[in-house]
Amino acid sequence: MSLEYLAGKPVLRHLNLHLEPGSFTFIAGASGAGKSSLLSLLSLSLKPTAGTLQLFGQDVTELTREALPVLRRKIGTVFQDYQLLNHLTVAENVGLPLKILGESPDMIDEKVHELLAWIGLDGFADVRPPLLSGGQKQRVAIARAVINKPLLILADEPTGNLDHELSMKLMHLFRSLNRVGTTIVFATHDESLMEAFQYPSLYLRDGQLFRTRR
């Protein structure tokens, strides 16, 4: 598949990517290499301008706009800049995907508090994001992304604003999610993370994917 924002200027060119269910894959590359664009395709925020994209056994390039939300519910996205809603509490931010799906308040409350305990923020349910540290915000963002148990998690430079110690802690959270069967695509430019966690790595350069750096 390929992606262009401007005609004749491809951002991604003839990508051929296959992700095994339950796999963990690093996507690396310099700033501007197209990592976020690739994740936008996988999250169904964009459609390829050429080629096909299949997710969960369906060719999403052929689906109508009305059919996309069903697939999007199987995908969780973690952003580098968190994208939390500052007027909501931590619990409300984490539970928002379930509220959108129409789950009962009691069920949402139970799932949210269980998940906050798992990420070590069980005492922060009523705190609002501006009072959290960067690492705490990122854990909240991860909790929100996984609350509805997606089949696929897309992480876009989630440790880019954090120090090494916090980055390693968050990586262990992602590894725990992967161990229970969640497929994870983790975009990063942090070579130390890829060395510490020996998952398959793909590198974006000149709009194409390589299995080794060039």
Domain boundaries along the sequence of the chain: 1-74+150-214, 86-149
Neighbours of 176 (CB within 10 A): 12
- Asked if residues 42 and 17 have their Cβ atoms less than 8 Å apart, the reply is no
**Identity at 32, one-letter amino acid code:** G
3-state secondary structure of 18: coil
Regions of the chain where pLDDT drops below 70: 212-214
**What pLDDT, on the 0 to 100 scale, is given for residue 97?**
93
**What pLDDT, on the 0 to 100 scale, is given for residue 214?**
42
Torsion angle defined by CA atoms of residues 58, 61, 64 and 68, in that order, rounded to the nearest 10 degrees:
60
Cα 7 to Cα 48, 50, 58, 60, 90: the distances in Å are 13, 12, 27, 22, 42
Predicted TM-score (pTM) of this structure: 0.89
**What pLDDT, on the 0 to 100 scale, is given for residue 5?**
86
> Which one, of 129, 131, 154, 113, lies nearest residue 27 by Cα?
154
- Asked if residues 25 and 185 have their Cβ atoms less than 8 Å apart, the reply is yes
Structure-token pair, residue 210:
């390589």
> Which one, of 155, 41, 152, lies nearest residue 15 by Cα?
41
**What pLDDT, on the 0 to 100 scale, is given for residue 162?**
78
**Identity at 81, one-letter amino acid code:** D
CATH number of 1-74+150-214: 3.40.50.300
Going by C-beta distance under 8 Å and a sequence separation of 6 or more, which residues neighbour residue 106? none
**What pLDDT, on the 0 to 100 scale, is given for residue 147?**
92
